[in-house]
Amino acid sequence: MSTAAGWRKDFDHDGPRYHFSLRFPEKEGQRMKIQPRISMRGGKSTPQIARGRWMHECPDYRTMFFALVFSLVLCPLAFAASRPNIVVILVDDMGWSDLGCYGSEIPTPNLDALAKGGLRFTQFYNTGRCCPTRAALLTGLYPHQAGVGHMVADKGAPGYRGRLNDSCVTIAEVLKPAGYFTALTGKWHVGQNFGVTPSGRGFVRSLNAAAGGFYFPGGARAELFLDGAKIANDDPRLPRDWYSTDLWTTYGLKFVDEALAAKQPFYLHLCHNAPHFPLQAPEAEIAKFRGKYKAGWDAIGDARYARQLEMGLIEKTWRKSPRPPTVKSWEDQTPQEQDRFDQIMAVYAATVHRMDKSIGDLVAGLQQRGVFDNTLLLFMSDNGGNAESGPNGRSEGDPTQAASNWFCGESWAFLENTPFRKFKHYNHEGGIASAFIAHWPTGITTKNELRHQPAHVIDVMATCLDIGGATYPTEFNGKSIAPMEGRSLVPAFANQPLQRDALFWEHEGNAAIRVGDLKLVRLGHTGPWELYNLKADRTELDNLASTQPDQTMQLAAQWDAWAARAQVTPYPDEAAGQKQTKAKKKSGN
Ligand SMILES: [Ca+2]
């Protein structure tokens, strides 16, 4: 037996504990096991020797032991005193290829700089839709387990109640008791219509929109809530003539100042409305892009695909998914149609570019406050590019004004999701693949690297617990809490594999399971299962279901078991049917 020493972290009801154990070789009957213990509570540390035992007098080892203990004790003490701040940035309806560092022609210098100073994940997933992704990101559970399998209407079935339920906790609810200052700005969309607010779910401070979908004051959906209470668009506490993308950053930094004044590490959950419809941007931003999209979706998509290959984001064997039959070739558009489409994409690009500028403002603000280096910043999108409004998109009114209604539409969404198939709502890669940037100079020392580990928004909770030294509870407010589904991404930061059996998806009957490189996916409740080997074919063009029927059946059975376990089933209609049957039996009809 050789000498071994190491730290182990576990949790009790009061928070994390650190254990150090040191074992020496058994020699001539000499054996020693020492377990000094570090207890960390709310950022404060108290070292103590929990248990130490000399089996025999052993002076040679004693010097070595104290030297080791003191050096190792200092390590977690330093960690405890400087727990990282965490900023999660979620954008809305942005396609996988829309950032410069993921192949786009849209200039996103600030996010590109974060990628250069940190990591880009190439196989990060959301759930394919706004509300479910937000629920999964906040709770570390699959969305149906948190009650948000669809949107914010109560459809009756347990997985579809339209708001966060009592069987989940939010990241804020677990980081707050661990000593974090918790704040949220931007889109919430997990049940404010039922009274489920950020303030009610662990956020000490919040300026939020119930459901997003606006950029300028006076928009139809421009409702703002400060710490849960509705405030007017022209409330004196807000900047004049705000643009929502900037507002979330301005208030985010204001909350950061409050955290610093309170001498607490902070968790900031910042959810942009951008680039969700109705697309709106200041005139000067749109002007930067007008005329730049006249090359059309085919040529620009090819250029994105070539850059993705060059960056190593995709493999040569992954053919670019073909233009959907509903989308015309660019050459088949009249010059007038091309001009209108150019303007639509200019507005979309402007919203993305301005969102990037706002992230630059946030980074500069954190740097000015001296907290940027020890802040873990995670960036992601809630679903893929959005084909709603069909191939023609929508261009109603003046996109520099609140009363307008512009959608990028399917034709440009096809470009946004390059090189993948399908869109928001779907569980094919175009619906669920997201850019993911992790930046943390103090904690992630490798720069400008890619990570190919499959990861998911459910992993953010586990990651925050891991680096924030917080505990995931089994009970909260007297209610039993579902076990966390995600995995900490900290091993992946160090390019180690993430241990898990499978990832699962369901939304509106669209469904998928990924095990290793195999993915089973279907369109709608009745769609036949399609099987793909993502290592060879991540663009899902070679369906293996008919040639590998056993594998298909096995994965389908695994998905069925998950669906029953994770409240995907019963579906709302089934639940309503069961209720009616019970009622009929009760009334004897
Ligand atoms: Ca969305």
Distance 466 CA to ligand 1 centre (A): 27
The b/e string for 515-528 (b: 16+ C-beta within 10 A; e otherwise) is: beebbbbbbeeeee
160 DSSP β-pair partners: 148
Q: Are 407 and 401 in contact (CB under 8 A)?
A: no
Beta-carbon contacts of 364 under 8 Å, excluding residues fewer than 6 positions away, are none
The answer to whether 432 and 319 have CB atoms below 8 angstroms apart is no
Round to whole Å and give the CA distance between 527 and 545: 13
Do 476 and 173 contact (CB within 8 A), yes or no? yes
Are 435 and 96 spatial neighbours (Cβ–Cβ below 8 Å)? yes
The encoded tokens of residue 171 equal 């990241």
In the chain, CATH 3.40.720.10 sits at 85-493
Phi, psi at 67, each rounded to 5°: -60, -45
**Structure-token pair, residue 405:** 């209604």
Residue 173 C-alpha from the chain's centroid: 17
Told to judge if 130 belongs to the known catalytic residues of this protein, a careful annotator would answer yes
Burial letters 51-72, b for 16+ CB under 10 A, else e: eeeeeeebeebeeebeebbeeb
The predicted pLDDT at position 523 comes to 98
CB atoms within 10 A of CB 288: 16
Q: Phi and psi dihedrals of 587, rounded to 5?
A: -85, -5
Give me ligand 1 centre to Cα 325, in Å: 24
For 62, the token pair is 């004693």
Residues constituting the chain: 589
Active-site residue identified among 189, 276, 428, 507:
189
Q: How far apart are CA 313 and CA 323, in angstroms?
A: 21
What spacing in Å lies between the alpha carbon of 97 and ligand 1's midpoint? 16
Residue with tokens 């025999």: 56
**What is the whole-number distance in angstroms between the Cα of residue 309 and the centre of ligand 1?**
27
Q: For residues 119 and 423, give the distance between their C-alpha atoms in angstroms, rounded to a whole number.
A: 25
**Ligand 1 mean position, distance from CA 9 (Å):** 37
Å from CA of 322 to ligand 1 middle = 24
d(CA 51, CA 494): 32
**pTM across the whole model:** 0.87
Residues 6+ apart with CB under 8 A from 29: 55, 56
* The CATH number, out of the four listed (1.10.260.40, 1.20.1050.10, 3.40.720.10, 1.10.1760.20), of the domain defined by the range 85-493: 3.40.720.10
Task: Determine the distance separating the centroid of ligand 1 and the alpha carbon of 431, expressed in angstroms.
Answer: 10
Structure tokens at 69: 């203990």
Q: What is the pLDDT of residue 58?
A: 42
CATH number of 503-575: 3.30.1120.10
Chain CA centroid to CA 402, Å? 28
pLDDT tens for the 589 residues of the chain, in order: 344 444 444 433 344 444 444 444 444 444 444 444 444 433 333 333 333 333 333 445 554 555 455 455 554 444 444 899 999 999 999 999 999 999 999 999 999 999 999 999 999 999 999 999 999 999 999 999 999 999 999 999 999 999 999 999 999 999 999 999 999 999 999 999 999 999 999 999 999 999 999 999 999 899 999 999 999 999 999 999 999 999 999 999 999 999 999 999 999 999 999 999 999 999 999 999 999 999 999 999 999 999 999 999 999 999 999 999 999 999 999 999 999 999 999 999 999 999 999 999 999 999 999 999 999 999 999 999 999 999 999 999 999 999 999 999 999 999 999 999 999 999 999 999 999 999 999 999 999 999 999 999 999 999 999 999 999 999 999 999 999 999 999 999 999 999 999 999 999 999 999 999 999 999 999 999 999 999 999 999 999 999 999 999 999 999 999 999 999 999 998 777 666 655 554 443 3
- Whole-number Å distance, alpha carbon 368 to ligand 1 midpoint, is 31
Question: Which of 87, 85, 86, 98 lies closest to 381, judged by CA?
Answer: 98
Instruction: Say what the alpha-carbon torsion angle 297, 302, 305, 307 is, to the nearest 10 degrees.
Output: -110
Count of Cβ atoms closer than 10 Å to residue 154 Cβ: 15
CA of 348 to the centre of ligand 1 (A): 14
What are the two backbone dihedrals, phi and then psi, of residue 441, each rounded to the nearest 5 degrees? -55, -40
Measure 1 CA to ligand 1 centroid, in angstroms. Answer: 55
Distance 181 CA to ligand 1 centre (A): 27
From the CA of 386, how far away is ligand 1's center (Å)? 8
Question: Is 189 a residue of the active site?
Answer: yes
User: How far is it, in rounded angstroms, from Cα 267 to Cα 270?
Assistant: 10
Question: What backbone torsions phi and psi does residue 586 show, to the nearest 5 degrees?
Answer: -65, -45
Between the CA of 185 and the centroid of ligand 1 the distance, in Å, is 16
Set 130, 168, 271, 408: catalytic member? 130
Task: Report which residue type is found at 183.
Answer: A
State residue 68's pLDDT score. 57
Distance between first and last Cα of the chain: 75
- d(C-alpha 149, C-alpha 171), whole Å: 19
pLDDT for 25 equals: 44
Q: CATH 3.30.1120.10 in the chain: give the residue spans.
A: 503-575
